[in-house]
Amino acid sequence: MEHQGLNLMDQALGFHSNMTQQPWPLCGRFVLVEDCVDTSGAFVLHHILKRSFTSRPSSAVIFLAFAHPINHYDRVLRKLGCNLSSQRDNGRFFFLDMLMLQCPVEGKPKHDGLATVFEKIERAISELHPENKKFVTVVIDDISCLEVAANGSSNDVLDFLHYCYTLTSENGYALVALNHQDIYSDGERPAFMLEIEYLADILVKVDPLATGLAKDVHGQVMVLNKETQKQQGISSIKVQNFHFKIKENNIEYFYPGTRT
């Protein structure tokens, strides 16, 4: 059990200092990370990955990679102090390499492609050790590449995300996905991004500073946490804003203006 102090990102996501006693705050929730070319939000995924392994002894991660091979994540997480290879050997980390996925266009119905991906997720979950099945996190990196794999069919991607979302509500799993908002924000289909934002319980938006590049501050984060009474709807919306700096072995989060 690591007794790390909670940083601002942990607090915003709802983590508690005594994490083994409290329930996993991402249980049954969908965390959507939105970033852009100027500021990559991949560090949020890495942070959540690390937290899901370190906070609980009995948790598992199903990782759908559309953007990078496993070596990339292995290197990054190693710098953050987490060994993905050993987690994989322990049956707590399932890496589904989707880099070469291309859904069939002709011949078969279109949504067969993503339906088989969903099938793979379900199979990976069923192969988990019962002990590790309590707190499962499904991570998707990233939605834009998923759309490319689906031949640009945003409807199929939304269907797929809906099915992944049903995993959260039915089984209490967590879903984390990365999306590049600048691809969709001023195109003809802003509705695609908005659909996913509706689905999300926690929205983490990573943007560059309005003033441009800086050496000490790499960007700003807005975390919007919808507290829902699942039956009745949203009971409150909490918004937190802070800045971050990516360092060699960790990421620093701080309130704007507190950097000396």
What radius of gyration, in Å, describes the C-alpha atoms of the chain?
Answer: 18
**Pick 17 or 185: Cβ nearer other proteins:** 185
How near is the Cβ of 235 to other proteins at its closest, in Å?
A: 5
Q: What is the DSSP string of 174-243?
A: EEEEEEEHHHHTTSS-HHHHHHHHHH-SEEEEEE--TT---SS--EEEEEEEEEEETTTEEEEEEEEEEE
48 vs 92: CA distance, rounded Å: 14
**Pick 11 or 54: Cβ nearer other proteins:** 11
How near is the Cβ of 193 to other proteins at its closest, in Å?
A: 10
How near is the Cβ of 228 to other proteins at its closest, in Å?
A: 9
224 vs 13: CA distance, rounded Å: 9
Residue 226 tokens, joined: 């919808």
Burial class of residue 74, CB neighbours in 10 A (0-12, 13-18, 19+): middle
**Pick 99 or 234: Cβ nearer other proteins:** 234
Kindly list the residues in this chain that would bind other proteins in the complex (CB under 8 A). Answer: 111, 115, 118-119, 122-123, 155, 158-159, 162-163, 166, 169-170, 190-191, 194-195, 197-198, 203, 222, 224, 226, 229-241
How near is the Cβ of 184 to other proteins at its closest, in Å?
A: 12
**Pick 142 or 201: Cβ nearer other proteins:** 201
Residue type, 223: V
How near is the Cβ of 236 to other proteins at its closest, in Å?
A: 5
How near is the Cβ of 229 to other proteins at its closest, in Å?
A: 6
Residue type, 23: P
> Is the separation of the CB atoms in 137 and 63 below 8 Å?
no
Residue with tokens 């937290």, as numbered in its chain? 51
**Pick 74 or 197: Cβ nearer other proteins:** 197
**Pick 6 or 234: Cβ nearer other proteins:** 234
At residue 198's C-alpha, the angle toward residues 233 and 115, to 5°, is: 110
How near is the Cβ of 112 to other proteins at its closest, in Å?
A: 9
**Pick 158 or 217: Cβ nearer other proteins:** 158
